[in-house]
Amino acid sequence: MTLLAETTAAATAFHRGRRLRRTPALRALVRETRLHPSMLVAPLFVRPGQGVREEIGSMPGQHRLSVDELAREVDRLLESGVRSVLLFGLPESKDPDGSGAWADGGIVQAAIRELRRSAGDDLAIIADVCLCEYTTHGHCGIVRDGSVDNDATLPLLARAAASLADAGAEIVAPSAMMDGQVAAIREALPETPILAYAAKHASAFYGPFREAADSAPAFGDRRSYQVDPANGREALREIAADLDEGADMIMVKPALPALDIVAAAAAATTVPIAAYQVSGEYAAICAAADRGWLDRGAAALESLTAMSRAGADVLVTYFALEAAGRLREIDR
Ligand SMILES: [Zn+2]
C-alpha cells in the first residue's frame, strides 16, 4: 500500500464535522435553525396611571406600564421587528370573581383599544385570558368551599375572552388551565383565533411573574389545575384536548424545562406551537449575567434558538426587544 492510500484511508475512517465549521460563512451556510424578530412575542404588563414605567424587581429591564407608556414600548418593539405582544393586566381593584377581567373599561381592554389606534394592523395583540390577576384570592378561577370551581369558572373566562376580542385583540390566550375553557371560549367566539396554554406545568419558574402581575395565590397553590412537571404524556393529552375543543395554536410553558413537550407536540400536531420562556427562565439568565457568570445576550439567543430547534414556531420571551436587536446585528 502506498503512503497516499494509507493517508486517505485514515482520513476517511472517521467523521470530520470540523470541515463545515471552519469559517463564519460556512457555519452560517449550514445553520439549521434561524431566528427572526417576527417569531418573537413580547409579554407586557399594563397598569393604571399616566406616564408610569415601574420596574419589576425580580425581572430587571421589565416594567409595569401605564397605557401611554405601553404604546411607546410597542413602538420600540415594532421598530425592532417584533410584531406581537402578549398582554397582562394589573387592575385598579380586585374582587372574588375577578370581574375586572371582563370589564368593558378594564385595564387590558383600554390598552388594546389604544394599541389598535396607535399601531393598527402592524401589531398582533394576544390577550391573556385568566382571572388570577383580577381575583382577591389570586386563583385562576372562582373559589367555592376552599377550592377552584372549574365549571362555574368557564362562563367567566368566555366572558373575559369576548370582552378582549371586542376591544380588538387578534388572539385570545386562555391560561387558567380549567378543563373545557377552550370549548367555552370557542362557543362564544367562533371567529377569533385561540392560543391555548395547553401544556402548562405547575412550574417553580413562574415565581417572578407573580410579583410582576401581583397574582400570587392567597392560599394553596395551582397544582390542582396545572400539569405536574413530571408528566409529559399528560401534557400531550392536554394539547390534544384543547385542539379537539377548537384551539388554533397551542402553548408549552415553561420553555427550556419542557423542550421535550415542544418537540413531541411539533411531531404530533400540525398547528403553530408557541413556547413561553417564562419569568424565572428570564430572571435566571439576568441574575447570572449580572454577576458576570453568563453572557446575557448570547445566553438569551441560545435559549430561544433551542426553543425553535425543538419545534416552536412562536417564541414568547421577555428578551424579545433585545433579541431582535441582536438578530439584526448578526444579519449585518
Ligand atoms: Zn391564572
CA distance 226 to 199: 8
Residue 94 annotated as catalytic: no
Distance in Å, CA 140 to ligand 1 centroid: 4
Distance 173 CA to ligand 1 centre (A): 11
pLDDT at 11 > cutoff 70 = no
Residues with C-beta atoms within 5 A of ion ligand 1: 130, 132, 140
- What residues are paired with 88 via a beta bridge? 45
Q: What is the mean pLDDT of residues 223-250?
A: 96
Ligand 1 centroid to 175 CA: how many Å? 6
Mean pLDDT score across all residues of the chain = 95
Burial of 105 (0-12, 13-18, 19+ CB in 10 A): exposed
**Å from CA of 233 to ligand 1 middle:** 23
* pLDDT reported for residue 330: 80
Query: Which residues, including other chains, have CB under 8 Å from residue 119's CB and lie 6 or more apart?
Result: 71, 74, 75, 78
73-90 tens-digit pLDDT: 999 999 999 999 999 999
Model confidence, pTM: 0.94
* Gap from CA of 131 to ligand 1 centroid (Å): 6
Q: Is the model more confident about 328 or about 285?
A: 285
User: How distant is the alpha carbon of residue 76 from its chain centre?
Assistant: 19
Distance 261 CA to ligand 1 centre (A): 21
Confidence tier at 57 by pLDDT (50, 70, 90): very high
Query: For 285-291, what is the mean pLDDT?
Result: 97
CA distance 332 to 318: 24
Give the model confidence (pLDDT) of 128-155 as tens digits.
999 999 999 999 999 999 899 999 999 9
Write down the pLDDT at residue 24: 94
pLDDT score for 227: 92
How far apart are the CA of 314 and the centre of ligand 1, in A?
21
**Percent of the chain residues topping a pLDDT of 70:** 96
Residue 6 Cα to ligand 1 middle (Å): 67
Omega of the bond leading into 272 within 30 degrees of 0 (cis): no
Can you tell me the distance from the alpha carbon of 194 to that of 43, in angstroms, rounded to the nearest whole number?
Answer: 17
DSSP 37-87: GGGEEEEEEE-SSSS-EEE-TTSTT-EEE-HHHHHHHHHHHHHHT--EEEE
Dist. CA 207 → ligand 1 center (Å): 13
Check 63, 94, 137, 200 and give the catalytic one: 200
The CA distance from 239 to 237, in Å, is 5
pLDDT given at position 60: 94
Average pLDDT over residues 96-114: 96
pLDDT interval class at 7 (50, 70, 90)? low
Is 281 or 329 the better-scoring residue by pLDDT? 281
Work out the pLDDT band at 115, boundaries 50, 70, 90: very high
From the list 64, 201, 222, 253, the catalytic residue is 253
* Least trusted range by pLDDT, from 59-73, 103-117, 174-188, 220-234: 220-234
